[in-house]
Homo-oligomer: A and B are copies of this chain.
Amino acid sequence: MCELLGMSANVPTDIRFSFAALARRGGETGPHADGWGISFYENHGCRSFHDPEPSARSELAKLLRNYPIKSRIVIAHVRKANRGRVSLENTHPFSRELWGRRWTFAHNGQLKGVKKLPLGGFAPIGSTDSEHAFCWMMGRLQARFRTLPKPALLDRAVADLAADLHGRGVFNMLLSDSRTLYAHCGKRLCYLTRRAPFGTATLIDEDWRVDFATETTDRDVVSVVATQALTRDESWTDLDRGAVLTLRDGAIRLLKPGNPASAAVPLEPPAC
């Protein structure tokens, strides 16, 4: 199973603390040794770093731990390959331009028969089911709206496409268009929001403790979505299967509730 990490904040925020935990799960404290990637939005621009090397041993991941990129939307992924060989073109997050926006997508799970879904104006570069699903979503959005629709319309369309893919297997997904971070829980995803009064947090995977009160202002709101909790002394909320969140400026909205009986599913390899 791959692992996902997403962040939405109302001020540019350093993700290194949370990314450190995810990176170690890529071949050290977790089995996700088949590459990793992270995308940082800065307004409409986006930087992405990809490496088919395990993140726990990646030189690039080490560099990023020492390089503070502040962003309001982040999507990161560590991969345990299942479909599609280990290569740069198969490394999440994937990205495409639609309506003059940079869209970024990361997925974990398995989708049955997804490559039979017909594509529109977007085609996969690599061979993963995940990138095919992303291209299908982008093609459907492009066919439905000629230009960028209003947020409520776009939210609903994204939720409908995610629900379709949810019916085909396991579809844990993070997606962003530079304005909104969408999260869909297929099997396991949890979240938290940090806001004043800020406390301290300690990573589960290593002995790194941060006092957020010294790094933030009272107006900062930072939400994090992840496959499993990254810190041991904060309260993470499990999402139900099928639930869709929108995150804008750190504010979380439950766009679509899932199945209440399905939260907190144990993590089981293999996937994605």
Question: Is B99 within 8 A of A45, CB to CB?
Answer: no
Chain A interface category by residue count:
20 to 34
Query: Taking CB as reference atom, which chain B residue is nearest A99?
Result: B123
Question: Is A125 within 8 A of B96, CB to CB?
Answer: no
Complex: A2 Cα to B46 Cα, angstroms: 21
Q: How far is the CB of A16 from chain B (nearest CB, A)?
A: 13
Stretch at the interface among A86-94, A153-161, A216-224: A86-94
Stretch at the interface among A59-67, A162-170, A246-254: A59-67
**Contact (A45, B91) CB under 8 Å given A59-B67, A63-B67, A67-B59:** yes
A96-108 vs B, Cβ < 8 Å mask (1 yes, 0 no): 1101111000000
A5-49 vs B, Cβ < 8 Å mask (1 yes, 0 no): 000000000000000000000000000000000000011111111
A80, CB-defined interface residue at 8 Å: no
Count of identical protomers in the assembly: 2
Complex: A96 Cα to B91 Cα, angstroms: 17
Complex: A89 Cα to B47 Cα, angstroms: 9
A119-145 vs B, Cβ < 8 Å mask (1 yes, 0 no): 001111110000000000000001000
Complex: A102 Cα to B125 Cα, angstroms: 7
Q: Which of B59, B89, B121 contacts A44 (CB 8 A)?
A: B89
Q: How far is the CB of A240 from chain B (nearest CB, A)?
A: 34
Complex: A43 Cα to B91 Cα, angstroms: 13
- Complex interface: chain B residues within 8 A of A77 (CB): none
A50, CB-defined interface residue at 8 Å: yes
Question: Is B88 within 8 A of A42, CB to CB?
Answer: yes
Q: Which of B46, B50, B87 contacts A43 (CB 8 A)?
A: B87
Question: Is A97 within 8 A of B123, CB to CB?
Answer: yes
Complex: A122 Cα to B42 Cα, angstroms: 21
Question: Is A126 within 8 A of B67, CB to CB?
Answer: no
Q: Which of B50, B97, B124, B125 contacts A47 (CB 8 A)?
A: B50
Query: Taking CB as reference atom, which chain B residue is nearest A42?
Result: B88
- Complex interface: chain B residues within 8 A of A45 (CB): 50, 87-91, 125-126
Complex: A96 Cα to B46 Cα, angstroms: 13
Question: Is B100 within 8 A of A97, CB to CB?
Answer: no
Which of A43, A44, A99 gathers most chain B CB within 10 Å?
A44
A-B contact sample (20 more), CB < 8 A, given A44-B125, A99-B123: A42-B88, A42-B89, A43-B87, A43-B88, A44-B89, A45-B88, A45-B89, A45-B126, A47-B49, A49-B49, A60-B67, A63-B67, A96-B97, A97-B122, A97-B123, A100-B123, A100-B124, A102-B125, A121-B121, A121-B142
